[in-house]
Amino acid sequence: MATGKSSTLTKLVIVALGMFGFGFALVPFYYKICEVTGINSGDEQSLVKNTQVDTSRWVTIEFDANTNEGLPWQFKTTQRSVRVHPGQLVQVEYEVANHSDHAIVGQAVPSYGPARAGAFFKKIECFCFTPQTLAAGERRQMPVLFVLDPSIDKDLHTITLSYTFFNTDPRAQTARLPEKVPHV
């Protein structure tokens, strides 16, 4: 009887110790499961997938940059056009340089061709949201981050996005800045 009891005891103690080890073995097991199934990886969880992209269509967007004559700045696009799907997040850069010998505050105003395309531009970030101050001789790259609304009219295949920089100092202007900057 005593040997029967002690052998049962030995077996049960081994099981208990084994399960203590199993608790720790669950740690690498957990990470392996996550890795194999791709559940817990950072890219899967932190980047939300954009499901709104309409890959069946292409729209060409052409960029145009102008300065009002009262503003001694050089303003240009870094690329002439991009071809995008509606719904896709697009980032483009503009470049601006102040050639005068003093700091100037400028404000960019957008316009669209055709004008009805403006309603479908969803701008997330734009240098035209705020007045820009450039020191004498300063050169700067400025981004525009936007999404073209997927509900954009089917017949719009090419859109022109044009910016004009105005000097915010009223004395320097020949053409006046519009009373109210259109909401962009």
Partner 1 sequence: MSDAAHAHDAHGHHAQPTGIMRWLTTTNHKDIGSLYLWFSFFMLFVAGSMALLIRSELFEPGMQLMRPDFFNELTTMHGLLMIFTVIMPAFTGFANWQVPLMIGAPDMAFPRMNNWSFWLLPVAAIMLLGSFWLPGGAVAGGWTMYPPLFIQGGVSYDLTILSVHIMGLSSIMGSINIITTILNMRAPGLALMKMPMFVWTWLITAYLLIATMPVLAGAVTMLLTDRNFGTHFFNAAGGGDPVMFQHIFWFFGHPEVYILILPAFGIISQIIPTFSRKPLFGYASMVYATASIAILSFTVWAHHMFAVGMPVAAQLFFMFSTMLIAVPTGVKVFNWVATMWKGSMTFETPMLFAIAFVCLFTIGGFSGLVLALAPVDIQLQDTYYVVAHFHYVLVSGALFSIFAGIYYWLPKWTGHMYNEALGKTHFWLSVIGMNTIFFPMHFLGLAGMPRRIPDYALQFTGFNQIATVGAFIFGFSQLLFLVLVLKTIKSGAKATDQVWEGAEGLEWTVPSPAPYHTFETAPVVK
Binding site for partner 1 (CB under 8 A): 1-2, 4-6, 8-9, 12-13, 15-24, 26-27, 30-31, 37, 39-40
- Strands 158-167 and 59-67 come out as parallel
Q: Which residue has the tokens 């022109």?
A: 160
Residues contacting 37, CB < 8 A, separation 6+:
none
Q: Environment class of residue 83 by beta-carbon count within 10 Å: exposed (0-12), middle (13-18) or buried (19+)?
A: exposed
Helix (H, G, I), strand (E, B) or coil at 175: coil
Q: Which is nearer to partner 1, 37 or 79 (CB)?
A: 37
Q: How far is the CB of 7 from partner 1 (least distance, A)?
A: 9
3-state SS class at 90: strand
Q: Shortest gap between Cβ of 50 and partner 1 (angstroms)? A: 20
Instruction: DSSP letter for 173, please.
Output: -
Shortest spacing between CB 70 and partner 1, in angstroms: 54
Whichever of 18 and 143 has its CB closer to partner 1, that residue is 18
Smaller CB separation from partner 1, 23 or 115? 23
Closest contact distance (angstroms) between CB of 165 and partner 1 is 46
Instruction: Tell the smallest beta-carbon distance from residue 47 to partner 1 (Å).
Output: 15
Q: How long is the chain?
A: 184
Cα–Cα distance, 137 to 67 (Å, whole number): 16
Strand, coil or helix: 143: strand
Taking the least distance from each CB to partner 1, the nearer of 17 and 124 is 17
Nearest CB to partner 1, comparing residues 10 and 60: 10
